[in-house]
């Protein structure tokens, strides 16, 4: 068997680090990449809520430098409120294949699994809009009826 991970997979998402959440119906991009050397190519699988996700793309760049190869996988999801709190995962592993692996007589696959996880934090568009409307109505009553702010806010 010949395999060496040059590093653990590096994974990321386009969720803003500043806010840590996304709005409902936004598109989220997820990406994982790993450098490896040897005769076995790792597999990557995206999932959420324990179910495999379809629609991911894979790119393998061979012989990037001195026999090191690069595998990357990406997926884009449009998120709804029903996915709030769900875990998105990318599993990287080696699986047996019926294809002949060149340059080796090894029949066993490397014993390697890496899981990357991130939890979705989705703000529902309706809730955000409703909260804004409540605040605007409170401000309206405060200005037009000259009610003390604490009375206005507690009435809603």
Q: Does residue 1 register a pLDDT over 60?
A: no
Q: What percent of the chain has pLDDT over 70?
A: 64
Q: Please, what is the average pLDDT of the chain?
A: 76
Alpha-carbon distance of 151 to 156, in angstroms, equals 9
As a residue count, the chain comes to 156
Cα–Cα distances in Å, from 119 out to 3, 47, 93, 122, 154?
A: 31, 12, 21, 10, 34
Q: What CATH architecture is 3-123?
A: Sandwich (2.60)
Counting residues of the chain whose pLDDT is more than 90, the rounded percentage is: 26
Taking the model in full, what pTM does it have? 0.69
- Residue, of 139 and 96, whose pLDDT is higher: 96
Q: What is the per-residue pLDDT across 83-137, written as a single tens digit (0 to 9) for each? A: 899 999 999 998 766 454 555 566 677 888 999 999 999 887 655 455 556 655 6
138: nearest Cα among 124, 154, 127, 125:
154
Q: Look at 66 and 37; give whichever has higher pLDDT.
A: 37
Question: Does residue 49 come out as left (phi exceeding 0), alpha (psi in the -120 to 50 range) or beta?
Answer: left
From residue 124, alpha-carbon distances to 25, 76, 85, 87 in Å are: 9, 19, 12, 17
């Amino acid at each position: 068997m010949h395999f060496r991970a040059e590093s653990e997979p590096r994974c990321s998402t386009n969720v803003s680090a500043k806010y840590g959440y996304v709005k409902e119906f936004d598109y989220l991009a997820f990406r994982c990449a790993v450098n490896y050397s040897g005769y076995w190519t790792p597999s990557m699988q995206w999932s959420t809520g324990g179910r495999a996700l379809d629609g991911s793309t894979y790119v393998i760049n061979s012989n990037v430098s001195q026999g090191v190869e690069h595998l990357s996988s990406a997926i884009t999801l449009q998120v709804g409120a029903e996915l709030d709190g769900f875990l998105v995962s990318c599993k990287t592993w080696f699986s047996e294949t019926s294809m002949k692996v060149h340059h080796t007589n090894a029949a066993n696959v490397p014993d390697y699994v890496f899981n990357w996880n991130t939890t979705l934090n989705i703000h529902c568009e309706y809730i955000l809009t409703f909260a804004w409307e409540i605040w605007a109505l409170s401000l309206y009553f405060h200005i037009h009826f000259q009610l003390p702010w604490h009375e206005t806010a507690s009435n809603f």
